Structure 1
């Protein structure tokens, strides 16, 4: 972890680089040493510190824990806005490591699934508004800080960031992790939290969103059964329903998404 702190209460080894020593005069904010595109970044700050990232407020827990997300196409440099408990303002810039993305081609899909008709498009737009509202949920308890667990075990059939070409037409990047499990496999909450959406959607079929505090949300798609309703709480590892093949799929699997507010990040980076 890299540390930015103005409190020098512990003697630093002489071998530490000058950059780290220079950082000692800045506000106390701890970030990972290496941050990549698509990362959910977790860190710690002095209690009472206020943070912003890309114009969005970053909630800081009473113990200083916080999280924010970097999208798939994040640039090489980013910055975290910091307001210290004493009111001093500064900006901490950091490097963002690039990643390579794979290309997947799927052919022979029914035309109505590749290019939805007008009625389906209206449904898709309305559902997207509900998804956006659910992803804006930002509650105070940082369940995400307890860590994440696999919701199911199986072969990885799709990765975050890959671009799919459907019947020869390039589509938006795949922003989730696909786990190939048979229909009826019990699915478990990757972390504790509260259900913010549980319904049947056009693209993702039976879908559940669980918010884990501070705007960190997981999405579980293509389920055959939803066992929880909106507003219900669930602990990490609690059963939330069964896997399936609902919505737009070519076979049974769980699509696992991870978000910080409206930013989609890579679930694989937080899983053990």
Structure 2
């Protein structure tokens, strides 16, 4: 009986190993939270689509996508393998609670801007959106991320913001409290796509692209040490914490995107 048990265990182990090494396998998590960055595995050479977008596939078969803050339905990813067979992966999306954060003492012109200021804000927002459209083959997103600064998390992704008593947009990233001048490190390698010391709402603003549509943005900086086109490595100093733009005190706002979809940096750190 013992011999049969050992034999059956060996067969099961071999089957699991064979499945893991199956070149036709498609692997995505069964469920993720709202705001997640999702990395999946498909056969190299596959065609992958999600939310109407064709996804890049690395030479070793990795793909990445983002789940929005308000996503409610399962994420459906279509994979056409090189042999023509089609697999549909369905990823359940777990809802989260979004507390309300009240922020007082914000300059009134940043909450209800006059027409000329609103026009400037719109122009600057268009520049930022354009910088997030980069889609190249670098896979800097695939390695574990690090925190750009150490400190207390003073604002969390997704929380509903109320500025001076008036409802605003949900918070698009995580705020980390730190003194002005604290060095800001690149959380992952990438290429700088935007560096501007004086955007109206976000002050010193820096965007780093990590490939395949994944990008980081750093707001309210007091100093920017890199320029568009620069290649940066993980841990490199790229700027310094400040309180520029719409800020009530020194802190780093770190946001992340998958193209236009905002994702939660804290979930990226925890993956």
Q: TM-score of the superposition, structure 1-length normalised? A: 0.89
Q: Of the candidates 217, 220, 223, which is equivalent to residue 219 of structure 1?
A: 217
In 1, are the aligned partners of 2:26 and 2:87 still within 8 Å (CA)? Answer: no
Q: Of the candidates 63, 69, 75, which is equivalent to residue 72 of structure 1?
A: 69
Q: Of the candidates 180, 185, 209, which is equivalent to residue 182 of structure 2?
A: 185
Structure 1 residues 91 and 27: CA distance shift in structure 2, 3 A: farther
What is the CA–CA distance in structure 2 between the aligned matches of 1:163 and 1:269, rounded to whole Å?
18
Q: Which residue of 2 aligns with 1:269?
A: 267
Task: For residue 87 of structure 1, report the CA deviation from its aligned partner.
Answer: 2.4
What is the CA–CA distance in structure 1 between the aligned matches of 2:143 and 2:75, rounded to whole Å?
26
Task: For residue 76 of structure 1, report the CA deviation from its aligned partner.
Answer: 3.4
Range with bigger deviation, 58-67 or 31-40? 31-40
Q: Which residue of 2 aligns with 1:239?
A: 237
Task: For residue 12 of structure 1, report the CA deviation from its aligned partner.
Answer: 4.1
Is residue 15 of structure 2 the alignment partner of residue 11 of structure 1? yes
What are the residue-to-residue correspondences of 1:119-130 with 2, within 5 Å?
A: 119-130=116-127
In 2, are the aligned partners of 1:76 and 1:98 still within 8 Å (CA)? Answer: no
In 2, are the aligned partners of 1:207 and 1:222 still within 8 Å (CA)? Answer: yes
What is the CA–CA distance in structure 2 between the aligned matches of 1:97 and 1:135, rounded to whole Å?
26
In 2, are the aligned partners of 1:163 and 1:173 still within 8 Å (CA)? Answer: yes
In 2, are the aligned partners of 1:76 and 1:97 still within 8 Å (CA)? Answer: no
What is the CA–CA distance in structure 1 between the aligned matches of 2:13 and 2:24, rounded to whole Å?
14
Q: Of the candidates 86, 89, 92, which is equivalent to residue 89 of structure 2?
A: 92
User: What RMSD over aligned residues (CA atoms) do the two structures have, in Å?
Assistant: 2.0
Question: If each structure's helix is expressed as a fraction of its own residues, which one has the higher value?
Answer: 2
In 2, are the aligned partners of 1:184 and 1:244 still within 8 Å (CA)? Answer: yes
* Unaligned segments of structure 2, at least 5 residues: 1-11
* Unaligned segments of structure 1, at least 5 residues: 1-7, 14-20
Q: TM-score of the superposition, structure 2-length normalised? A: 0.89
In 1, are the aligned partners of 2:204 and 2:220 still within 8 Å (CA)? Answer: yes
Q: Which residue of 1 aligns with 2:132?
A: 135
What are the residue-to-residue correspondences of 1:147-186 with 2, within 5 Å?
A: 147-186=144-183
Q: Which residue of 2 aligns with 1:248?
A: 246
Structure 1 residues 26 and 92: CA distance shift in structure 2, 3 A: farther
What is the CA–CA distance in structure 2 between the aligned matches of 1:77 and 1:31, rounded to whole Å?
12
Count of matched residue pairs:
255
